[in-house]
Structure 1
Amino acid sequence: MNLEEILKRKIETLSQQAWDSKLTWPDVESWLANFKGDFQAESEERVHALYLLSQVTYFGQDLLREMLRSVYKNLYRHPIISKIRRANADTLDSNVIEPLFKVEQNNTRFVGVGNPSESGPHLLYYFRQINDLGKDLFIDSGDIYKASRSADGAVQIVQVDANVRRYVFIDDLLGSGSQIEQYLSDKLKEIRLFRNVEVHYYALFATSAGLEVARKPEFFGENVSCIFELDETFKCFSDKARAFANLPAGLDKGVAHSVAAGYGKGLMAEEHALGWRDGQLLLSFLHNTPDNSLPIMWFDFPYRHPWTPIFKRFSKVYGL
């Protein structure tokens, strides 16, 4: 059995057993047709593209739901319970703990990162469902505060619900941290005007670099947690890349890089040829594929460049 046939069987098995049967072989063949021998021999490009595809980590509905269960239980509930116990002589009495936790939860609002059409808010539906939470605990980020005028006519920022003492932002992937810098920076400045209000950020996945950004004092400080941290080994062409730790005979990391970067430069600006801000991830979710992943996997802007994606991305389009 040749290498291409081995990779084909691996991908078919992954699709059936790990990727929720998301791909069929005709889908893969349509994607492989993108590789026309522009940077290596056509056969070499396609076998290396297949190998990169075989290294994609895909998170379907069941895995995402379990991770969202963990976000609530381990990142949100457990620290609050621990604080309640410390304040009550390390009690284990649920009759003491649960009413106090209920008060804390009622004074919490869960918020998606981005506008309602994006992946962060999209996750909140599953988060609420899997953790059996009331709809009143969830708001859009635009409902945190509003502008009003004081008696002397001055514009001031007012908290919509003065009973809220904790805002929890939930996201699927904290990549480079650019979304926090661009989208949440101003909101966080306004929230800090409210007395005795905490802001937290929980992500399913986070790169080490993204965590550094999120933990800056002007953003979330120490109130940042994730379920799964993506270190340098998850960047597919880094020196310690796990994707190339046990490379089969007949494949070459340099060739794979030339294919991914070569076609990537035709799809994106050069600095994003291997993913937004050189993300180099091989990652996809049920609801979307992050732009930190290799563009050859997700790019789908035919008016800019004809390309058939294998893990489609639904791009964010911010308002004017």
Structure 2
Amino acid sequence: MHKNIFIILISVLFINCKQTTIAQPQANTTENQILEKIKSSEIKDIIGFLASDELGGRDTGSEGLEKAAKFIEEEFKKYGVAPYFETYRDTFRATGIETYNIVGFIKGTDPVLANEFIILGAHFDHIGTGNEVNGDTIANGANDNAAGSSAVLSMAKQFAQLKNNKRSILFVLFGAEEKGLLGSEHLANLLKNKNTEVYTMVNFEMIGVPLKDKPYKAYITGYDKSNMAEKINDYVGSEFIGYLPKAKEFQLFMRSDNYPFYMQFKVPCQTISTFDFTNYNYYHHVDDEASEMNYEFIAEFINDCVPAIVKMANTTNKEITLNK
């Protein structure tokens, strides 16, 4: 082969190889991608608004609840989380009053697994007013349950950026929980009637302050009903979820928004909480204020929880199951 021709061929091959390398698409986002962690300041902004005096305790049918709903809708829009229904609102009546759940949606990326749904929920309503203390009658509901609401919003933001969930996820802020789980009951019935395939439901309730003298960060209601606690701990790589005897004693499994979903779908539907009856004195109290929240802890809790939900949304099989 002539020397000049050889040099030309080598040059052409080098150029083609370089162009091929440049043209390669970026690798798809994997479930191991690490995002910038949720900051405590972000949590403080969310709870600070939802539990502000301006919202008057977020009672069902109140102007304050409407302000909270609009805030949540704007957060979803900002994150790029779509409404599940025609709008974000799932409207129903509670004790004769029209109210709503706020429902965001991120469709799964897998053509098969996208038909399976994970529901992440927390109620955003509260009781409005309480017994007067030093002239204050507004039951702000910071721990109950602006804190849990901040977890759902933060996870919606994370998953909207990750775009890696093979299963579909609903991010639900329930209304009328304080009226008897009416918002979750309505949505569970609605999804059941649509033949929605629910894999699991994880509810967040009162996560504003850490547990005391416990080896785990949070407990789960209905601990022995499924392997959810075990699998979450496996996914996180630490003893994140534990068993709280008082949760069983007080039948907390049946007292939060997980319960209507369990009743309808008979799949693992449980609530994660850090309120253990000894570490917070302001349940349904006017002093349940934003200033009482431990924002560093809440942010740490959410950041620890995200990898577990990511794994839950991406396993090939349904690894979380009811116990027989």
State whether TM-score is above 0.5. no
Pick the TM interval, shorter chain.
under 0.3
User: Normalising by structure 1, what TM-score?
Assistant: 0.27
